[in-house]
Amino acid sequence: MVTLLCFGDSNTWGFNPATWERYPLNIRWPGVLQKELGERYRVIEDGQNGRTAVEGKPFAGFNTSKSDLVSALANHNPFDLVILMLGTNDLLMRSSVSPDDVGKGIDVLLNIIRNSDAGPGGSAPAVLLLAPPPIGSHAGETDALESAVTQSLLFAERYASIAADFGCAFLNTGEIVRSSEIDGSHLDASEHTKLGLAVAKRVRLIFNRVG
């Protein structure tokens, strides 16, 4: 059995922008991923509302990504693959943060995974890095949020570069899904389905499996 960890923010947790409640498991993209991959795979969800990639005083109360990742790797291992998608909240919470700053936070998380023994036989798990979809224009109701919308367009290029340097798999979710028109930062149910199916296809390629 292949074990996967989906580590991310509210879009991995399954925040419904229309109701502010959590989508059911069969709607959330990790749930779609599990159903599509089938019983030969085990998908573990670890999404948290407000989670950021960058840590420090600007994100007091939300800067738990490092400690949460360490805990997840310790509590649920061994993992064959960690699927990581973070960065949207960093831009929304602090206008001075750039995609390069977010990238530095992603680098820290990737190195935590690389230096862990949470993979098979005490090795490090493989990684699939997901670039979050661009923030929608609806979120740009202030100058700060408008900046976040613009900056988020750079996620794909920055994350692709990080993945190449780290030597891990990469998927640009902005080519697959778009942020909800309701709030500009979360995913509608139909987009969760698209994302789950696309990630499943990428996972099969990583493990050279048809099903």
Q: Is the pLDDT of residue 211 over 60?
A: no
Q: Is the pLDDT of residue 62 over 70?
A: no
Q: What is the mean pLDDT of residues 44-49?
A: 96
| Domains of the chain and CATH, by start | 2-206 (3.40.50.1110)
Q: What is the mean pLDDT of residues 12-19?
A: 98
pLDDT tens per residue, range 170-207:
999 999 999 999 999 999 999 999 999 999 999 999 99
pLDDT value at residue 61: 56
Q: Is the pLDDT of residue 42 over 80?
A: yes
Dihedral angle computed from the Cα positions of residues 56, 78, 33 and 45, in that order, rounded to the nearest 10 degrees: -40
pLDDT tens per residue, range 138-151:
655 655 578 888 99
Of the pLDDT bands very low, low, confident and very high (cuts 50, 70, 90), residue 86 is very high
Q: Is the pLDDT of residue 60 over 60?
A: no
